[in-house]
Structure 1
Amino acid sequence: MANTNSTTTTNPEIISPPQVNETAIAALLKTPLGATQDLFQILDACQHYVDALIENDNNTECMALCGRLLAGLEMLKFALKAPLPAHLIERLTVDVAEPDNYRAPLSTDSGTLREYCSALTILLLQHQQSPEQKEHITGLLFELINLLVEDLKAPRFVRADGGLAMISGEAVPGIH
């Protein structure tokens, strides 16, 4: 800073403004999505976006959250097609199988459920529904994302004498 006996001038751009605490939404929106994330990390990100979306009334933040959720769901499309890494196979493996306790009773596969979530997200991004419809669509999206996460994180494999087997009793030709 300049003092009375100085010829130095003060540059306002050098003086830093007071730090503003960013909101949890802003921090969530800054969290990067990347190709290096595994299936569970992408699922966690989608779940965080929809959790924030269900609690938010700010249209701008809702649109941003929907955009991030849609990006996460698009990444999920490719993660569902990729082979599971060893660390996820380990997390999806149990020692003793109890088939009825793990998987959600869905009549559709995870790829189709992901498509339903994407369609609902796009519908919210179009911003053409009434506030009541938006609330219902957001609630349905929340439920479907959580169902998808629960289903995809449920154990799939059981340790057997010959290696891994599917909990459902199916053979494991190439683990995915």
Structure 2
Amino acid sequence: MANTNSTTITSSEILCTQPVIESAITRLLKTPFGATMDLFQVLDCCESLVDALIENDDSTERVALCGRLYAGLEVLKVVLKAPLPAHLIERLTVEVAKENDYPCALSTDSETLREYCAALTMLLLQRQQSPEQEEHITGLVFELIGVLVEDLKAPRFIKTDAGLMMIGDATNEIH
């Protein structure tokens, strides 16, 4: 290495080492899941995993993404049973409710929809279907998780003079 006052020229390829760039897939696979995550954090992770899955053609990465997605859906099972924290209640609360603006596209509850997603993800992990079937199942998981995320992030509460109430149920006071 040349001294500061030296006239020796140093080649830029020697000075600039190429950093090892972690791929987006690697970061997704390393994202920890845990019971300390709130509902929206788990949903965001699952959504990111299924987004990567639908865009990925590498067999090994697809299996890893399916495994992480399945783990995320299992964490979601626990999170769905836990009470909503105050910061999420605030995010799910509106001043004025428009009852027909928040319908779920499927007439099933969130836990059943989560179970459908988990079952389809497990099917993808088994790798017993044709490439065409795998593509259709992946698309279905993508669509169902999208519906699940949209439904669970839709407003649930309305502020009234009597306090916080569930949308569509003016007699059911929350707080």
TM-score strictly above 0.5:
yes
How many residues end up aligned between the 2 structures? Answer: 160
The 8 Å contact of residues 163 and 173 in structure 2, kept in 1 or not, is answered as no
Moved over 3 A (4+): 170-175
The equivalent of 1:106 in structure 2 is 106
Of 97-106 and 141-150, the range deviating more from structure 2: 97-106
- Does 2:150 correspond to 1:147? no
Alpha-carbon offset, residue 174 of structure 1 = 5.6
Determine helix, strand or coil for the equivalent of 2:20. coil
The equivalent of 1:157 in structure 2 is 157
Determine helix, strand or coil for the equivalent of 1:165. strand
- Does 2:99 correspond to 1:93? no
- TM score, norm. by length of structure 1: 0.86
- Does 2:55 correspond to 1:55? yes
Q: How does 1:1-176 map to 2 (within 5 A)?
A: 19-169=19-169, 171-172=171-172
| Residue-by-residue CA offset, 1:88-121 (whole Å, 9 max, x unaligned) | 0000000001011123232110000000000000
**Corresponding letter in the other structure for 2:34:** G
Q: Distance in 2 between matches of 1:71 and 1:37?
A: 13
Alpha-carbon offset, residue 165 of structure 1 = 1.0
Q: Distance in 2 between matches of 1:123 and 1:170?
A: 42
Q: Distance in 1 between matches of 2:27 and 2:145?
A: 21
- Can you give the 5+ residue segments of structure 2 that lack an aligned partner in the other structure? 1-16
Coordinate RMSD, CA, aligned: 1.7
Determine helix, strand or coil for the equivalent of 1:168. coil
Q: Distance in 2 between matches of 1:174 and 1:167?
A: 11
Q: Distance in 2 between matches of 1:173 and 1:79?
A: 23
- TM score, norm. by length of structure 2: 0.87
Identical counterparts, % of pairs: 68
Q: Distance in 1 between matches of 2:113 and 2:170?
A: 22
Alpha-carbon offset, residue 20 of structure 1 = 2.1
**Corresponding letter in the other structure for 1:86:** A
Q: Distance in 1 between matches of 2:113 and 2:132?
A: 23
Alpha-carbon offset, residue 29 of structure 1 = 0.8
| Residue-by-residue CA offset, 1:6-30 (whole Å, 9 max, x unaligned) | xxxxxxxxxxx95321211011111
| Residue-by-residue CA offset, 1:116-173 (whole Å, 9 max, x unaligned) | 0000000000000100000000000000000000000000000011111111125446
- Can you give the 5+ residue segments of structure 1 that lack an aligned partner in the other structure? 1-16
Q: Distance in 1 between matches of 2:47 and 2:171?
A: 31
